[in-house]
Amino acid sequence: MFGEDVDGVNKNMLFEEIINKYSNEVEEAVDQLFHEAHKNQVNETDLLLVLENGLKKEYPESTLKRLKISPYQIGPDIIGFRYDTFYQFINYYRQGIKSKDEFFKGFDDEKLKHSLLDFYRDFQLLLYMKFWETDLILRRLSNLSNLAQAKPYYWDYSQTVYDARRNLIKDEIQKPLEFICPLFYKLIDEIYSNQIRNAVAHSQYYFLYDSIHLTNKDGNKHYKLNGITYDDWEVLFTKLILLYNFMIKNFNKYQVLYQKEVKDKHFGLLIYFPENDLKGLQKTGWVKYDFSHKRWHWNQ
pLDDT digits (tens, 9 = 90+) for 226-243: 999 999 999 999 999 999
Overall average pLDDT of the 162-189 stretch: 94
DSSP annotation of 8: T
Strand ranges of the sheet holding 269-276, from the earlier edge strand across to the other edge: 269-276, 282-290, 295-298
**What confidence tens digit (pLDDT) does each residue in 14-58 have?**
899 999 999 999 999 999 999 999 999 999 999 999 999 999 988
Interstrand relation of 295-298 and 282-290 (parallel, antiparallel or unpaired) = antiparallel
Lowest mean pLDDT, pick from 90-94, 138-142, 291-295: 90-94
**Residues 6 or more apart whose Cβ sits within 8 Å of residue 252:** none
pTM to 2 decimals? 0.92
Distance CA 82, CA 280 (A): 37
Question: 54-58, 156-160, 212-216: which has the highest mean pLDDT?
Answer: 212-216
Return the higher-pLDDT residue of 6 and 196.
196
pLDDT at 6: 41
pLDDT at 277: 83
Average pLDDT, the chain: 91
Kindly compute the dihedral angle of the four CA atoms of residues 37, 39, 43, 45, in this order, to the nearest 10 degrees. 70
